Amino acid sequence: MKHRANIIGAEAINALGANLSEIWDRMMGLECGIRPLVNLPKGRYQTDVAGEVLPEIENRLPEVDGNSRLFRLAAAAAAGALKQAESIDRNLDLENTGLVFSTTKAGIDELEKIITRENSGNPEYIYPGAVAAKLAGHLSLGGPVIAVSCACASGLAAIVQAARMLRDGSAARMLVVGADILSDFVMQGFSSLQALSERPCRPYDCARDGMSLGEGAGALVMSADENPESLASVGGWGITNDCTHINVPDPGGRGLQKAVEAALAMSGKKRSEIDCINGHGTSTIPNDEMEAEAIAGAFGENPPPLSSMKGYFGHTMGAGGVIETAINIEALREKIIPACMGFAEKGVGPLLNICREHLEQKRLDNILTLKSGFGGINAAVIIKAFSSQQSAIS
């Protein structure tokens, strides 16, 4: 059954900027948004650096009712993507537009307040489903509304969820919004796992020693219609589970390899047609090794160029898949693969083709994005440049 999931709006907010264009420009300028903590206290965690959305960025976002940072970031990203979608599809019907909200911890800062300050927090923002419903109300969306929480693969899982809902006609348009914020809860939690680097992270590097956390929001508007001005299309996807351990990836990368193979099969693409891999590249020892094994297993001796965005703005958790997909749409438009910030000397997979510098390409039509997370989940999604002849998924 042929179906379409075209992307007609994209927006992102993170440590590098208040919108997608600003983020892209700063990435092209090799700017790193992982800096000494400002919003959170120094000396409390395993590291004093993270990709925070600083006040100079946050203060430029539209204000919303309530006092939730998470909601403000999510609403601003959603508004940006919808504005672009309305410029492409002038008949965009919000009443027939649904919402998938992706997050790992939603407004977990409110739980901190409830636990430590005698119930002063607003529990509404703790529940991802409630945040999704509130966001849909704020944006006047009338279609189906759900939240997806699949650890660090949440963003890609939400894009897949929206594509499935377009496929079965649940709505004509789907807005996907991913948002997560840095909080004492999250910083302490990853510190307890000894998973953080004291310096900005170095994906795939031999000296990598942990991740850098980040925060932000991303949004995509997806449409089942064929619109010649579409920005990009979802080409195919695969989601699998390692079946091994809840917080240690399968060292052989077999689950992620299966996800890549499923995405390729759904897209009808050959391996040689994948022009770039936007890796998860968290910069932890086990993740990057697992990913290298999966890429080697799926692509053999001649894999496409690989880059991770974590060195620019950190691991934005449940927002990551959406933010990075929005940036990938810029990459498709500009035909530039961003350099893998922080990478200097290869520490995994001798055959991997990791980008030390920005790569300008004559052909950049298909980007494979990878994400894996706690709970054993692996996700692979192919985003392709829009082509009216080839926008359908088999």
Partner 1 sequence: MKTNLYITSFGFIDSSGFGGTGSKGTVCGLPERFRWREFSERPYERFGRLDILSKHVLVACESADLPLAEDGGKNHGTGIVLGTQSGSLSVDADYYRSTAEISCGSPALFSYTLPNISIGEIAARYGIAGPNSCIMAGSSSGTAALREGIRIIEGGEAESCIVVAADAASTENAELFGLGRAGHAGASCFAYAFVLETSERADTAHRKPRAVVSWTGPAAVGELDSLSGPGDICRMLMDGEKEKPDSIMLPLATSRSGRGDVIVIESLPERKAGS
CB 200 → partner 1: shortest distance, Å?
21
Under 8 Å between Cβ of 206 and 129 = no
61 vs 256, beta carbon nearer partner 1: 256
104 vs 282, beta carbon nearer partner 1: 104
18 vs 141, beta carbon nearer partner 1: 141
CB 115 → partner 1: shortest distance, Å?
5
224 vs 348, beta carbon nearer partner 1: 224
DSSP 95: G
242 vs 330, beta carbon nearer partner 1: 242
CB 39 → partner 1: shortest distance, Å?
18
148 vs 296, beta carbon nearer partner 1: 148
CB 181 → partner 1: shortest distance, Å?
15
CB 324 → partner 1: shortest distance, Å?
19
CB 237 → partner 1: shortest distance, Å?
9
Element (H, E) at 368: strand 366-373
> Tokens 């919303």 sit at which residue?
64
Residue 198: strand, helix, or coil: coil
Edge-to-edge strand ranges of the sheet holding 6-13 = 97-102, 173-180, 216-223, 6-13, 232-241, 377-385, 366-373, 276-278, 306-307
DSSP 273: G
Element (H, E) at 11: strand 6-13
Helix axes 108-116, 184-192, angle to 10 degrees: 90
Q: Phi and psi dihedrals of 149, rounded to 5?
A: -135, 95
Under 8 Å between Cβ of 191 and 46 = yes
CB pairs under 8 A, 24+ apart, for 295-298? Answer: 295/253, 295/260, 295/349, 295/352, 296/253, 296/349, 296/351, 296/352, 297/252, 297/253, 297/254, 297/257, 298/257, 298/260, 298/261, 298/264, 298/271
Q: Which residues bind partner 1 (CB under 8 A)?
A: 1, 45-46, 95, 98, 104-105, 108, 111-112, 114-116, 123, 126-130, 132-133, 136-137, 141-151, 157, 160-161, 164-165, 167-168, 170, 184-185, 188-194, 238-247, 255, 258, 262, 373-377
189 vs 297, beta carbon nearer partner 1: 189
CB 129 → partner 1: shortest distance, Å?
4
Residue 315: strand, helix, or coil: strand
26 vs 280, beta carbon nearer partner 1: 280
196 vs 277, beta carbon nearer partner 1: 196
Residue-wise burial string across 141-164, b where 16 or more C-beta atoms lie within 10 A, e elsewhere: bebebbbbbbbbbbbbbbbbbbbe
CB 250 → partner 1: shortest distance, Å?
10
Under 8 Å between Cβ of 235 and 393 = yes
CB 147 → partner 1: shortest distance, Å?
4
> Tokens 């990598």 sit at which residue?
208
